[in-house]
Structure 1
Amino acid sequence: MTDLATVSRFYNVSHGFTYQAYYEQVGIKLREHKSRNHWPEVLGIDEHFFRRKNRITEFCTVFTDLKKRKMFEMAHGKDFKSLTEQISELKGREHVKVVVIDMSSTYKSFAKKFFPNTVIVADKFHVLRLLTPSIMKAGKDIHGHRQELSTRRKLLCNRTNLDYFLRVEIDRYLKNHPKLNELYRWKEKLFEFYRIKGFSRAYRAFEKLTYEMSHSNLEEVQRLLRTLKRWKHEVLRYFEKGYTNAFTERMNGTAKLVQRRAFGYKSFKNYRLRTLSACLFKTF
């Protein structure tokens, strides 16, 4: 049977009874699973949208085990107080050695305080996307509408993955737009930076990259420079640890599918149980 409403009709019982029985059993199963596990050695943290209530946007924080590639826990909210209230009972946080996050100062502060023995890694894909809003905005400022949108999207792709003729088309388009051209070249330099192998080489390349950025006259590049300097150690740790949050983003995608299938949730408790069940026990 595909859903709880079908179960209710098949057994001729109320929807309330079916939902209560289902979530009780899922809760029992998850408690048994949690009792056998402790905080993982390599932890991924990311958030996704939960709902909008009284004009306030609420988020959920997802915790994943990046080494075993499993969902670990989910909490309501993303601030330090909300997270600690919900997950402080979980044991073994001293076992966490690496935490991978996007470039969020909130999660950075939380990880430093809550996990005493950890080092923080900035997620590679979030670093590569830092210039994406500036590139799209610069293209919009040129045309003022959706014209050439397909070309602007091609600017976000890794240049090494494009064929020769597409690269020629992009270069021809950028020739008449100096600001967009410069933003594109800096974006490509970030991709080149992440193709480097080894921590020592990456460190030298990072110093060279930031030095070159300091001579740019674009405010967008200067803003990127300030961000990279603020997250220098976390960015460089990727070349030492090698972890990204790709699996965590995948779990976020599963959570969004759970929301879409249910047309949203009012109760975070039920949403958490349903999402963890879908991710851990493949019940979706």
Structure 2
Amino acid sequence: MDGIFNTRMNGIKKWNRSTEPLKSNVFYTCSRGFSNADAAHESGISVASVERYYHQMVMQKISHQKNRLCPRYIGIDEHRFSKKIGFVTTFCNLEKHRVFDISPGRSEAELLPFLKSLKGRKRVKVICMDMHAPYRKMVRRWFPNAKIVADRFHVIKLINLHFAKTCKLIDEENLAWGRGGLIRIMCTRSENLSSSKREKLEHYLEKQPAIKSLWLFSQDLADLFRNKGKNPPACKKLIHDLLERNEMLRASPFRPMQTLGKTLMNLAEPCGSNVSFL
């Protein structure tokens, strides 16, 4: 015979002496916080093998990350990570409800290397994000075919902010911004309030009919953005209701309400798309 023939076995790569399930088990054991010695004892291998298998699995997962395509529906948001690192931007896969990737920084200049590395940017259909103007410009430049949708969390937060400013203009003496203050209670959904806080709110609104009218209006406007999974006919009605309430905001005698109406009108497409897509 000129050579030796070895039958390939499932689960073992060429030139390897250990199975891929064993390497995966070692990787996930170490990822859960176990030491190399514990993982070696559990798998019946040496500590050096544990370290080698872990590094091999890390490189394998990195190679998979480099070749993946952008999700069709992406959520973008920034948050403060630590004092040393500062802000980071999170990209979420809204179809699978998972984090797609995290990149340091929040400006376009800081995110430039990450954005350049993304593959399949033209296949992205929808991007859900806050109403920060630099983010909208960045999305239009790097995701040309994506439709921008305003994140309902940030829209409702904006509504509550301007509602609170208006209430402070009417009754500044009795309203406080603290955790147990009336403004915090009024910005919370009524079904999420405790019985004591609900009684406190009802007692206050009885004495302040003007603020009660504003509170009912703000709750109704916020509920409008909480609608999900509507068909096209229902979306048309909701968008009509949104435009009608926006006209009421712009005609309000209170400056914070007028500002909110102008902001929502300038962001009419992203805010209206919130009802259609999410």
Name the counterpart of 2:26.
none
Cα shift readout 1:237-279 (whole Å, capped 9, x = no counterpart): 122212xxxxxxxxxxxxxxxxxxxxxxxxxxxxxxxxxxxxx
From 105, 127, 131, the counterpart of 2:155: 127
Contact 1:62 1:75 in 2 (8 A): yes
Cα RMSD of the aligned pairs, angstroms, is 3.7
Task: Measure, in 1, the Cα distance between the counterparts of 2:180 and 2:195.
Answer: 20
Task: Measure, in 2, the Cα distance between the counterparts of 1:50 and 1:222.
Answer: 35
Residue 29 of structure 1 deviates from its aligned partner by: 4.5
Contact 2:75 2:94 in 1 (8 A): yes
Name the counterpart of 1:232.
268
Task: Measure, in 2, the Cα distance between the counterparts of 1:22 and 1:178.
Answer: 69
| 2:105 pairs with 1:77 | yes
Name the counterpart of 1:268.
none
Name the counterpart of 1:176.
207
| 2:185 pairs with 1:157 | no
TM-score of the pair, normalised by structure 2:
0.68
What are the equivalent positions in structure 2 for 1:1-284 lying under 5 Å apart? 7=35, 28-52=59-83, 58-135=86-163, 138=167, 141-143=172-174, 149=180, 151-159=182-190, 169-177=200-208, 180-194=211-225, 197=230, 198-242=234-278
Deviates more, 1:92-101 or 1:173-182: 173-182
Letter in 1 for 2:83: R
Task: Measure, in 2, the Cα distance between the counterparts of 1:22 and 1:225.
Answer: 58
Local SS of the residue matching 2:265? helix
Cα shift readout 1:132-172 (whole Å, capped 9, x = no counterpart): 33455656943476789254433122236669996564233
Letter in 2 for 1:39: C
Go from structure 1 to structure 2 and tell me whether the alpha carbon gap of 1:33 and 1:2 turns closer, same or farther (over 3 Å shift): closer
Task: Measure, in 1, the Cα distance between the counterparts of 2:143 and 2:193.
Answer: 42
Letter in 2 for 1:126: H
Residue 8 of structure 1 deviates from its aligned partner by: 8.2
Contact 2:152 2:226 in 1 (8 A): no
Letter in 1 for 2:258: Q
Letter in 1 for 2:64: H
Task: Measure, in 1, the Cα distance between the counterparts of 2:193 and 2:180.
Answer: 17
Residue 9 of structure 1 deviates from its aligned partner by: 9.6
Alignment length (residue pairs):
232
Deviates more, 1:193-202 or 1:1-10: 1-10
Task: Measure, in 2, the Cα distance between the counterparts of 1:124 and 1:200.
Answer: 18
Contact 1:158 1:191 in 2 (8 A): no
Question: Unaligned regions of 5+ residues in structure 1, if any?
Answer: 12-19, 243-284
Go from structure 1 to structure 2 and tell me whether the alpha carbon gap of 1:145 and 1:157 turns closer, same or farther (over 3 Å shift): closer
Local SS of the residue matching 1:142? coil
Letter in 1 for 2:254: L
TM-score of the pair, normalised by structure 1:
0.67
Letter in 2 for 1:225: G
Task: Measure, in 2, the Cα distance between the counterparts of 1:22 and 1:230.
Answer: 54
Q: Which has the larger radius of gyration?
A: 2
Cα shift readout 1:188-217 (whole Å, capped 9, x = no counterpart): 121342366522112211121011112211
Go from structure 1 to structure 2 and tell me whether the alpha carbon gap of 1:223 and 1:179 turns closer, same or farther (over 3 Å shift): farther
Contact 1:155 1:170 in 2 (8 A): yes
Local SS of the residue matching 1:49? strand
